[in-house]
Amino acid sequence: MTPTGLTRRHVIAAGATLAATTPLAAMAGMTHRTFPKGFLWGTATAAHQVEGNNTNSDWWLLEGLPGTFIRERSGVACDHYNRYPQDIATIAAMGLSSYRFSIEWARIEPTPGRYDKRQLDHYRDMLRVCRRHGLHTVVTLHHFTSPAWLAARGGFENPATVAAFAAYAEAVLRHCGDLIDTLCTFNEANLTFSDFIPTTILAPMLDAAKKASGSSTFRSFLFDDASRSKPIVRACHAAARRATKAVRPDLPVGLTLAMSDIQDAPGAPGAGVAERSKRYDVWLELARTDEFVGVQNYTRERFDAKGAIPPPAGAVRTQLDQEYYPAGLAGAVRYAASVARTPILVTENGIGTEDDALRGRYITEALTGLQECIAAGIDVRGYWHWSAMDNFEWSFGYGPKFGLMAVDRVSQVRTLKPSASLYSAIARANAVSA
């Protein structure tokens, strides 16, 4: 058995089964919506959420603090750091054409200015394995976590981070850039937990982090003061883009954004429109100079004159207490395209639920809306389901289940879910049935 609990025979058989027992084949008489030739079908992970033992990162420190609101430690996570060859083989056996994953800055640069060649070699080998399986590689340089030393000196609230991030990007590109097909500088560059988590909850943890790190300036990306950090994040993106182009002028570069489908509440015309513009426009305008913008959507939000309103009575809720609303993907894509005027990659979309049948329904409905966007002329070039496997979901711990694969927390055995069969069928057919 491989460390994942899937033998080579199981991986190959999984691919054969997924191809042969497709829900699409059973629905041959129904309407098919075909995606463009060359459309990328993928799935995604993030280093801290799946690799395990990310001990040099700010999140590793935050997880173990007294007063933390993070529900549990990430620990060994899904041990993807060691099991990536088998995990990547499974992704390829599903018939997908791309894998999106992040490179962990805290591993690459454990202390300021010292780049760890062994860790750079590790990620280079991940890229080689992807290439061996014919997968288009999408690499994210920063997926929420930073080196603990960077957080201690102010993180993305410190202007000096611009030069540090550009140097990190250059180190990655010089070592691995020939094997990267698409580069995302930041995951959800616009997201800040401090925008919606009360200070009374955040303050005890951040105070403990300052004490543990010995730095009164400790800041972590998701808990930054957005008014100070986000202009610096935008400058970091621009600097990393320049560093990347100096090494690989032909490499497509962009960033990804957290984008709810923001709507006007009933009887409140313009309220959602104003909120949507305030939240997204500066980022989408920044993306106009990039080769793409990554749209990441999970639900919708509705606004009246007083602010956000709850989901409708009786609405299905996900494990993150979000409204089940797969149509939100199309709404977010339409808005992103209208402002950014650059190609779209759906770099994340999915649902946190124990009900895998609901996940399958979500995938089908979200992709039906996405195909309608393409039919209307929007340039969408790929879709990456979040996530490849059930993993560590930040402050929620291991509770929410987003994966196409279940992961046994003790044995680390992976089990493909029925939704993986559905998604595989869609990818192989390059079409969704409605």
Residue from 262, 167, 281, 151 nearest 210 by CA: 151
Match 């951040």 to its residue by tokens.
206
DSSP H or E run through 72: none
Residues 150, 154, 158, 160, CA torsion sign = negative
Helices (H), 214-317: 226-247, 271-286
Q: What is the spatial distance between Cα 126 and Cα 426, in angstroms, rounded to a whole number?
A: 26
51 catalytic? Reply is no
CA–CA gap between residue 207 and residue 379 (Å, rounded): 45
Euclidean distance between CA atoms 41 and 95, whole angstroms: 9
Amino acid at 199: T
What is the phi/psi pair of residue 64, to 5°? -100, 10
Helix (H, G, I), strand (E, B) or coil at 88: helix
Burial class (CB in 10 A: 0-12, 13-18, 19+), 302: buried
Beta bridge partners of 186: 142
CA distance 404 to 415: 9
- Closest CA relative to residue 101, chosen from 2, 6, 11, 183: 183
CB 48 within 8 A of CB 390: no
Residue 363: closest CA among 297, 295, 294, 293 = 297
CA-to-CA distance for 101 and 387, rounded, in angstroms? 10
| Paired tokens of 266 | 């009933």
Strand 307-309 to strand 182-186: parallel, antiparallel, or no bridges (unpaired)?
Answer: unpaired
Catalytic residue among 51, 109, 157, 188: 188
Rg (CA), the chain: 21
Between CA 377 and CA 386, with CA 380 as vertex, the angle to 5 degrees is 145
Dig out the tokens for 273 from the structure.
């429109």
Burial of 418 (0-12, 13-18, 19+ CB in 10 A): middle
- Cis omega before residue 338 (within 30°)? no
Q: Which residues are catalytic?
A: 188
